[in-house]
Amino acid sequence: MFAFLLCTRIMMNDNKINMAEWRYLLSGGMPMQELTNPAVSWLSDRAWRDILGLSALDNFSNLAESFPEHLQGFKRIFDSNHPHREPLPGEWDTELDSFQRLLVLRCLRADCLVQGLQDYVSAQLGQRFIEPQTSDLAVVFKDSSLSTPLIFVLSPGTDPAADLYKFADVMQFSKKMSAISLGQGQGPWAEIMMHAAMKQGHWVFFQNCHLAPSWMPSLERLIENIDPTKVHKDFRLWLTSLPSNKFPVSILQNGSKMTIEPPRGIKANLQKTYLRLTNDFITSSTKVTHLKSLLLSLCLFHGISLERRKFGPLGFNIPYEFTDGDLNICISQLKMFLDEYQDTPFKVLRYTAGEINYGGRVTDDWDRRCLLSVLEDFYSPNVLVEEHNYSSSGVYRQIDTNLDIKGYLSYIRGLPINDSPEIFGLHDNANISFAQNETFALLGTVVRLQPRTASAGGKSHEEEIVADIVVKIPQPFSVQEVMEKYPVLYEESMNTVLMQEVIRYNKLLEVILQSLGDIVKALNGLVVMSSELELMANSLFNNLVPDMWKAKAYPSLKPLASWVSDLLQRINFLHRWIYNGIPPVFWISGFFFPQAFLTGTLQNYARRSGFSIDTIGFDFEVRLSEITEKPSSGCYIHGLFLEGARWDKQECQLTDSRPKELYTEMSVIRLIPEPNRKPPPTGVYVCPIYKTLTRAGTLSTTGHSTNYVIAVELPTDQSQGHWIKRGVALICALDY
């Protein structure tokens, strides 16, 4: 990212990058014309909207119109394993420069944009700018002086202390180095230590500066007052800190900064663990072969738990920071239980690892279900069989238990550097999701690093956007009219649900209309531009939903252009309900608060049948035929998307996704209220419904996550664990 920013800044100074195109690369654009997608079979709705947005730029004005002529050429790029290196079809190949090609790549294959950026930097600045640098303390040390501190910026899962002690040994300073971990009350000791080191020419090492925010100003003063003529020339100050806003800026500006990435990938994790283990530890057990087999299993499980995080919500809803400490306690418990019990106590092992050591960090019930499901594959009698395969390809397998640690290490060195999704139990599409998330995270960070001046010159652009939105946003609903048409009734709870939705949407519409009116005046200089309005103008400029709207809105990940059209669809859904009566099928994604709607459905049934509401649950039935009238009890819902799998309409069950199809539409589901219902033990997958793709929410007063709606049972011929590991869920709204 740093190399890319450097490269583009140089190009901008030479006027080789158009600012409108640069803005499009970072935050996309608004489609100005409405054309139908010419290749529905392979081109997603999102990609087509991006192409329409790109066609609004001068150099791409006839891209969308000429797209159908060059369908085969664009499909070749879409299907390619290296789309960033494919030539563009027709005249586009000669007309566009290497930067403009990146914009087409962003539309068609966002998952490969990072590789495209690497190629771009390599072509403009040189290959060495994109290759990872090895961390060599000797090089950094050479540039340091007695008044420039050396700062390690910590990242989770790394500790640079060991590297520093090794380096001190090489420099023959291990006896002349004093270290202290900062925290409450450690400041005065650190100060004494630093004064002594300055006199004698020693090194000082202050660890975890972020834990002593109140002492940081004193450290800043100490460093500023270092007098090079009075301090010993060998004196050096080493600091470690997590990123913190309390860390003094002047120290950062004057110091040398370095950071170390934690090991990435299962191979690196296994290697790290096995390099620490000794043969004595393993041979001291009474069941050596069992210990070796289960130890490999446990270390693989640890690697998988850490690496699932990179797949975002498909891996875990919340990215947990599992540590080496969790693994170490499991290893010592494994040895203890094997020595103490005659038979291997798998149930105890699974409980201590899954519910306590790892599970103790897990705060989401669905994540705990996933963790235990993964653990079952690794702590089971099957893994004691020689040559047991952990993945279908057989790359990860159990090996000969007569080998010592060296034998295990040589097996680990033969493993692939990049993990394939199959070892996680995920579909190959998970890699595309991961790559796309990485791309958009990178672009989002670059947007935040942009100087403010860039947006000051483009006021007309904001005015265009505001004018475009003002035309579309309708006036709030008439609450009085809705109350007269749908009064509060004991027999019909849906009236109350509709009323609550209308009030919530009205609050949102009022904020939008008010702020749009204010910003038009501010842009024309009729009122003072407040900080709130300035933030709003920046958001509009970057195609983001302004924070003041988000505060009153439903959860959504869509960029501004799609968010506005989604809001209009939701308003239309309520309009149709108000003027045409209660709909036969409810668009569940259109509700501000879907849980109220589900409770209303249960309430209607409870009041009709006389059962107590807390004894009623839902039964589920997926419908394929066209629905024109309401069911006798319960309700029909539509508008959901499946992630991680697809719905097979012929077989009426869950089945694996097609390649490159990340989300598929779900058929209509009927929710049937049923008293004292017992869920079926087999043949279904209990699938959670979430409002947005992030899946994680905050705990609300109802005891549920604000993002979670309900769980439905979907028929399947696979085991429940198969879909749990795939991270299959139903989503109300996508992020485009």
Axis crossing angle, helix 98-108 with helix 45-54, rounded to the nearest 10: 150
Rounded CA-CA distance 615/194 in Å is: 68
253 and 326 fall within a common domain: no
Axis crossing angle, helix 288-307 with helix 266-276, rounded to the nearest 10: 140
Name the DSSP letter for residue 353. I
- In this prediction, residue 455 carries a pLDDT of 43
Q: Which ranges of 524-652 does DSSP label H, i.e. alpha helix?
A: 531-541, 547-550, 560-580, 594-609
Picking from 596, 592, 616, the residue whose alpha carbon sits closest to that of residue 606 is: 616
122 and 229 fall within a common domain: no
Residue 426 within any structural domain of the chain: no
409 and 301 fall within a common domain: yes
- In this prediction, residue 134 carries a pLDDT of 62
Q: What stretches in the chain show pLDDT beneath 50? A: 454-458
395 and 472 fall within a common domain: no
- In this prediction, residue 458 carries a pLDDT of 47
Residue 440 within any structural domain of the chain: no
Strands 150-153, 236-241: pairing kind: parallel
72 and 90 fall within a common domain: yes
Residue 444 within any structural domain of the chain: no
**Number of CB atoms found within 10 A of residue 313's CB:** 24
* Pair of tokens at residue 439: 């791309």
Residue 616 within any structural domain of the chain: yes
Last residue of a domain, one of 524, 553, 581: 581
The distance of Cα 231 from the centroid of its chain, to the nearest Å, equals 48
Residue 220 within any structural domain of the chain: yes
Domain that holds residue 551: 458-581
Picking from 551, 549, 478, the residue whose alpha carbon sits closest to that of residue 514 is: 549
C-alpha separations of 211 from 123, 159, 221, 254, 269 in Å: 43, 16, 18, 21, 28
| Sheet with strand 177-181: strands edge to edge | 177-181, 203-207, 236-241, 150-153, 256-259
What is the phi/psi pair of residue 273, to 5°?
Answer: -70, -45
635 and 650 fall within a common domain: yes
556 and 617 fall within a common domain: no
Torsion of CA 221, 223, 225, 229, to 10 degrees: 170
* CATH code of the domain containing 612: 3.10.490.20
Find out whether 388 and 397 touch, Cβ atoms under 8 Å: yes
* Pair of tokens at residue 296: 């490999």
6 and 19 fall within a common domain: yes
* CATH code of the domain containing 486: 1.20.1270.280
Rounded CA-CA distance 454/537 in Å is: 13
Q: Which residues, in sequence order, are CB contacts of 106 under 8 Å at separation 6+?
A: 25, 28, 50, 113, 439
Provide the β-strand partners of residue 181: 207
Provide the β-strand partners of residue 150: 238, 256
Rounded CA-CA distance 690/688 in Å is: 7
- In this prediction, residue 624 carries a pLDDT of 85
Find out whether 293 and 387 touch, Cβ atoms under 8 Å: no
Last residue of a domain, one of 90, 105, 129: 129
Rounded CA-CA distance 532/73 in Å is: 46
Q: Which residues, in sequence order, are CB contacts of 227 under 8 Å at separation 6+?
A: none
Residue 452 within any structural domain of the chain: no
Residue 433 within any structural domain of the chain: no
658 and 646 fall within a common domain: yes
513 and 541 fall within a common domain: yes
Rounded CA-CA distance 669/715 in Å is: 12
Picking from 110, 93, 91, 96, the residue whose alpha carbon sits closest to that of residue 46 is: 110
Name the amino acid, one letter, at 610: G
Number of domains in the chain: 5
Find out whether 209 and 239 touch, Cβ atoms under 8 Å: yes
220 and 312 fall within a common domain: no
Residue 675 within any structural domain of the chain: yes
Last residue of a domain, one of 392, 420, 448: 420
Q: Which ranges of 312-425 does DSSP label H, i.e. alpha helix?
A: 324-340, 346-351, 365-378, 405-413
206 and 287 fall within a common domain: no
Find out whether 360 and 307 touch, Cβ atoms under 8 Å: no
Element holding 592 (H helix, E strand): none
Find out whether 473 and 566 touch, Cβ atoms under 8 Å: no
Provide the β-strand partners of residue 659: none
